[in-house]
Chains A and B, each alone.
Chain A
Amino acid sequence: MKRIIQLTLTYLRIGILNEMQYRVNFFIQLLQSFVALGTGLIGLALVFEHTNDLAGWTRPELLAVMGVHILMGGVIRAAIQPNMQTLANDIQQGTLDYALTKPVDSQVIVSVREFRLWQVVDVVMGFVVMGWAVAEMREGLGLGDGLIFTAALVLGGIMIYCFWLMLTTSAFWIIRVYEMINLFEGLYAAGRWPVGIYPLWLRSMLTFLVPVAFAVTVPSEILVGRVSVQTLLGALALTAGLVVLARFVWTLGVRNYSGASA
């Protein structure tokens, strides 16, 4: 366990050092994040120009959802997606050998190799938007709420990671997964709004197939103070289930991998 943490920290440090070489990228990322935030806010303003609440959600509440969505998007693009894209490339080109031969758990190493520092801009921006929403909404957040919220965010992050890992692992069998990445981005965009507004079939997809509901909507519900204990327990159970499943799929995939001889 200690070794795993050490390894993760080393990769993190290398990732940060690497990104530090490209400092202009920080400003480009900043500008792009602001553009994305701007269009998001315009969308929200348009909706609330024509109505006072959207399926029971008020404007500040939806602002909170947007904050969580931006934050989680930043986490995905900083830590999850780059690793999974590297993994997909490695599987396709047969270079995964280099990771598999390292004397450490293969799932750990393929999950911590990459880190995109500048994407953290979105994480910060997500927190700012959330803070703004909470300030508009009610008399602040208790420490308890804050802890539960953080826990829900972590659970959501783990679920998204498991989902991505399984999606990428499928490359062991079907080689090309680029189109699926495109599909994920489309479905993740749906998390900008609370999943409750979608028709049942889409809501089920967003809950169990791509866990956007748990990654974005549930943490937001904690912020706006309308989450039930059952939902939280459900999130916990689903996370545990997904972790086990992802591990199983990964082991199966690696066994199926034959490498590509040089």
Chain B
Amino acid sequence: MRRYFDYYLTSMRMAILEQFQYRVANYFYMIGMIAEPVIYLVVWSTVAEAQGGEVGGYTPGAFAAYYIVWTLVRNMNIVFTPYGWEGYIQRGQLSAELLKPIHPLHNFLSFFAGWKVVVIIFWLPLAAILSLIFKPALDFTWVEVVFFFFAIWGAYLIRTMLLTLLGMITFWTTRVSAIYELFFAFELVLSGRLVPMSLMPVWVQDVADWLPFQWTFGYPIESLVSQLPPAELWGGLGMQALWIGITTVMVAVMWRYGIKRFSAVGN
């Protein structure tokens, strides 16, 4: 246990130092990602205004709050991609990871976790500017901030596990990009990334309840911007814990079978 703790601490610290060097690149990247939520925000604010100031319980101000917090949650959702796994497995880089006396997943988990610390710090001024432009109606309690803090890290863990599962498909077959794209499309619609889940038709919400996606996106945002009752706040964290458990077991099982198929290519 102590060993893992030290490993995570060191690896995260290295990632933080490394990413702080690439300030400009990091900022360009984050600014490039702002276009997507701004488009959603403008479209739905327009709809809300046309409907007399509110749609699905959201006013333009509430949409602004939702999509500004969205930008941070989106960044928390960026983890080692399946395309990365594809490269690692196909080009045999995984061999080097396998030589270490620790599961490769810890390496990816800790590196991206460290990067997130940098991202959160960089996000604050960005959120301030967006708030000046779009005037969000955001009022939260400090309790909600605490829930939000845990929820974004829960989201990070679930998404890491999901994309690891996806990436490990490469153990069995190459050319998986079409599968990834299909997955991302489902995720876009069922997670609350496209619109808050309350704007979805009821049957879509019912489907989403059986899937992990909304706990990685919609729930963290809503824990801060919507006044969720305590039961739902706790329930959300509980669902996150459940999905972290399920996906971790799935990763472990898939890894066991997948790694047997792995044979390195290299020089």
A residues with CB within 8 A of B:
24, 28, 31-32, 35-36, 38-39, 42-43, 46-47, 49-51, 53-55, 179-180, 182-183, 185-187, 189-190, 192-193, 197-199, 202
What's the minimum C-beta distance from B188 to chain A, rounded to whole angstroms? 6
Q: Could you list 9 further interchain pairs (A-B, Cβ under 8 angstroms) beyond the known A35-B185, A50-B51, A182-B28?
A: A32-B181, A51-B51, A54-B43, A182-B32, A183-B31, A189-B39, A193-B42, A199-B42, A202-B42
Question: 14 A–B contact pairs at CB < 8 A?
Answer: A24-B175, A31-B181, A32-B178, A43-B194, A46-B194, A47-B43, A50-B51, A51-B50, A55-B46, A183-B32, A186-B35, A190-B38, A193-B43, A199-B133
Whether B199 contacts A50 by the Cβ 8 Å rule is yes
B residues with CB within 8 A of A:
25, 28-29, 31-36, 38-39, 42-44, 46-47, 50-51, 55-56, 133, 175, 177-178, 181-182, 185, 188-189, 194-195, 199-201
What's the minimum C-beta distance from B26 to chain A, rounded to whole angstroms? 10
What's the minimum C-beta distance from B102 to chain A, rounded to whole angstroms? 32
A-B CB contacts (within 8 Å), total count: 83
What's the minimum C-beta distance from A183 to chain B, rounded to whole angstroms? 5
Whether B28 contacts A179 by the Cβ 8 Å rule is yes
Contacts of B44 in A (CB 8 A): 47
In the complex, the chain B residue whose C-beta lies closest to that of A31 is: B178
Residue among A50, A182, A185, A190 having the largest count of chain B Cβ atoms under 10 Å: A50
7 A-B pairs with the lowest CB-CB distances in the bound complex, closest first: A186-B35, A179-B28, A182-B32, A183-B32, A35-B185, A51-B47, A31-B178
In the complex, the chain A residue whose C-beta lies closest to that of B55 is: A50
Whether A183 contacts B201 by the Cβ 8 Å rule is no
What's the minimum C-beta distance from A14 to chain B, rounded to whole angstroms? 24
Whether B175 contacts A185 by the Cβ 8 Å rule is no
| Complex CA distance for A31 and B175, rounded to whole angstroms | 13
Whether A186 contacts B46 by the Cβ 8 Å rule is no
Whether A190 contacts B199 by the Cβ 8 Å rule is no
Contacts of A186 in B (CB 8 A): 32-36
